[in-house]
Chains A and B, each alone.
Chain A
Amino acid sequence: MSSKSPTEAVPVQLRGVTKRYGSETAVAPLDLTVEAGSFVSFLGPSGSGKTTTLKMISGFERPDEGAVLFGARDITSLPPEQRGVGVVFQNYSLFPHMSVARNIEFPLRMRGVDRSIRARKVREALELVELPHVAHRRPHELSGGQQQRIAIARALVFDPALLLMDEPLGALDRRLRESMQLEIKALHERLDVTIIYVTHDQEEALAMSDQIVVFNQGRVEQVGTPQAVYGRPRTLFVADFLGESFSVSGQVADGVFAADAPVALRLDVDAGVGNGPARAIWRSGSVTASPPAGDGSWAPMPTTVVASAFAGDRLKLKLRVGSGTEGIVSMGADWPAPPPGDALDVYVDRKRAVVVGAGEGAEA
């Protein structure tokens, strides 16, 4: 469908979009541009505004303020059926009273597409999701993974320029979820379509996206590539939400981070971090029990083991530093796990430390 797609992927723009439910602000004024043809994930905990934002793009919610644009077209007040956006829901939402073929045909019927073209398109869509033999079955006769593929076929059969997916893999078990992630990514590469993907699973967002938009309490905390939001989190929330991390509390004064006693560590920080309480954060790869010899950037850090768990190829350790903060790090599993309560000297990489403000409101 990619080459003969009549609609080209369009950029999506949110301008000052706001949504309130009573006195609750679900989405604070939000500015965001999703580039044409990209795969963007909205990542955040439940109630962070990511699904509400998605609904304002699909047309099921109308923003109280601001505008939604597809390309240059303002579609803020357009009803969902006129937006031409494919939506894949978490619970598949296949019509139980129709066969699979009828389900996929539905958007084409709604558009008055000719019968012979409909039949061909349904066949192509089923082939696209590699389920050509289930056309005459009922949705409930299919497995969860198959149902979700049919839902994707149905959302793509009318060649939408934009595909929205609301936690589409949330109901599937872990292994199926991982293989579906790869399939959806492969589909995106084959088709000329912009995908906005809502998830609360940071691994899923990291694995699939070109860009990740991290939501928290109705606000966007950070927008960036998976590498950027994981490796260079701009806030404590992003650092915590995107995976295990190890951190040390301290104070920033005049561009220098000084760890709280008894940790003796000073780091130069970016101009972006103001004076005041702050945290220095390390991801798993930049914390080790045995630093490479001769590399001066590794600084020692005395910790106490709180808990340890064996995770196959690595060891997960929960560590507490003298000044009180706790963090989880993974290390190579080629040494015996230390028992809880043991002192353990680890080394942190100064070059890969990320310092973020830890003032009021920064705590996750």
Chain B
Amino acid sequence: MSQPRTGSLHWLLILPLLAVLAVLFIAPLYFVIERGFTDPPGAGWDNYQRALEDPAARRYAWNTIRTAFTVTLCASVLGYTYAYATFRASRRMRVFLLYCVLVPFWTSLLVRTYAWAIMLRDEGVINKTLGSIGLIDAPLPLLRNSFAVTLGMTQILLPFVILPCYSAMTRVDVSLVQAARSLGATPTSAFFRVFLPLTRPGLAAGAFLTFILATGYYITPVLLGGPGDQPVAVLIENAVQQQGDWGLAGALAALVTVLVLVALMAGWRSLTRSVLESGRRS
């Protein structure tokens, strides 16, 4: 407040990062979007019109959004539950449970996706086990469908829900839950009326991050999903690799970026609040 000089120096500290972002992110993004308007020369909004009118593009966009919603829902429910179990566990168990979240987090996305593919295929460990104990006659169709995509992406994105939820829980004053009990609330209603509302910013932030990340997923839906699960990213890749149609790819990329930005603005408040409120109490 009374240190305007050091305040201006703080801005200098983020300059290198801003420079890196400008060169490696903003400039390429600009060129991609520019391509959407200038390839072929004088294209203008033509590429956008093509993208929006293309039934395949609509279908793929729907796939992307539907998958993102399903994954966000599954990850939120499972992640919050896991975070709560961790929060209530003994100290030693807590460390173990958090490690279980972080270790896969540090493993390559590609490796984890292939691991799921191996587990889920007809000769995979799940179908083999179920078959050998006589529960099923024919292998269950576990791979190349929405189930596999949801399962794989949920597992991969879970840490993004678990960590903010857990951090929100550790900031809740447990005497509030005790107060609710002393005032006549059963454990269940104390949870739903006091604990859950107080940890909602963490859950919102986690769900939101998951949704944003899920809209950009490419490898997992391609490797685990069926034809009905392919995301827009596949279409963009197609346009570039198969057709050399950089204009259409640019327009599609720009549309996805806008979609994410809109979602970002919608959830901005809950995200920033959960970050900014970390030091505030009651």
Contacts and interface: CB of A to CB of B under 8 A. Distances in A.
Interface stretch (B49-57, B61-69, B116-124, B179-187): B179-187
Interface in A81-133: 81, 83-87, 89, 91-97, 106-107, 110-111
A125 to B, nearest CB: 13
Contact of B184 (A58, A91, A96, A110): A110
Interface in A137-154: 139-140, 154
B3 interface: no
Contacts of B141: none
B195 to A, nearest CB: 10
Contacts of A215: none
Nearest to A86: B182
Interface stretch (B23-31, B170-178, B213-221): B170-178
Contacts of B181: 59-60, 79-81
Nearest to B190: A81
A197 interface: no
B233 to A, nearest CB: 39
Nearest to A91: B175
Contacts of B227: none
A80 B282 contact: no
B197 A97 contact: yes
Contacts of A83: 182
A230 interface: no
B194 interface: yes
Interface centre among A89, A96, A139, A155, by most chain B C-beta atoms within 10 angstroms, is A96
A87 B179 contact: yes
Given A139-B282, A140-B282, A93 B185 contact: no
Interface in B239-272: none
A78 B194 CA distance: 22
B198 interface: yes
Nearest to A104: B183
Contact of A93 (B178, B184, B193): B178
Contact of B173 (A85, A87, A91, A154): A91
Given A80-B182, A93-B178, A110 B173 contact: no
B189 interface: yes
A158 interface: yes
B264 to A, nearest CB: 25
A309 to B, nearest CB: 37
Contacts of A86: 182
B80 to A, nearest CB: 17
Given A95-B194, A97-B198, A110-B189, A89 B178 contact: yes
B contact patch SS: helix
Contacts of A91: 173, 175
User: Interface residue tally of chain A, by bracket?
Assistant: 20 to 34
B254 to A, nearest CB: 40
A89 B179 contact: yes
B29 to A, nearest CB: 39
Contacts of B281: 96
Nearest to A92: B282
B106 to A, nearest CB: 35
Contacts of A58: 182
A93 B180 CA distance: 9
A48 B99 CA distance: 38
Given A87-B179, A93-B175, A110 B185 contact: yes
Contact of A158 (B178, B180, B183, B198): B183
Nearest to B186: A81
Contact of A81 (B182, B193, B282): B182
A95 B179 CA distance: 9
Contacts of A93: 173, 175-176, 178-179
Contacts of A79: 181, 187
A91 B174 CA distance: 11
A158 B182 CA distance: 11
B183 A110 contact: yes
Contacts of A158: 183-184
Nearest to A85: B182
A313 B122 CA distance: 91
A52 B203 CA distance: 34
A154 B180 CA distance: 11
A110 to B, nearest CB: 4
Interface centre among B182, B184, B186, by most chain A C-beta atoms within 10 angstroms, is B182
Interface string B146-183: 00000000000000000000000000010110111111
Given A94-B282, A96-B282, A139-B282, A106 B178 contact: no
Interface string A53-80: 0000011100000000000000000011
A93 B190 CA distance: 13
A106 B183 contact: yes
B184 A81 contact: yes
B198 A96 contact: yes
The 8 closest A-B pairs by CB, nearest first: A110-B184, A107-B183, A93-B179, A87-B182, A96-B282, A80-B181, A93-B175, A97-B197
17 contacts: A60-B181, A80-B182, A83-B182, A84-B184, A87-B182, A87-B183, A91-B175, A92-B282, A93-B173, A93-B176, A95-B179, A96-B198, A106-B183, A106-B185, A110-B189, A111-B184, A139-B282
Interface of A: 58-60, 79-81, 83-87, 89, 91-97, 106-107, 110-111, 139-140, 154-155, 158
Given A79-B181, A94-B179, A110-B185, 18 more contacts: A80-B178, A80-B181, A81-B182, A81-B184, A81-B190, A83-B182, A87-B183, A89-B178, A89-B179, A91-B173, A96-B281, A96-B282, A106-B193, A110-B189, A139-B282, A140-B282, A155-B182, A155-B183
Interface of B: 173, 175-176, 178-187, 189-190, 193-194, 197-198, 281-282
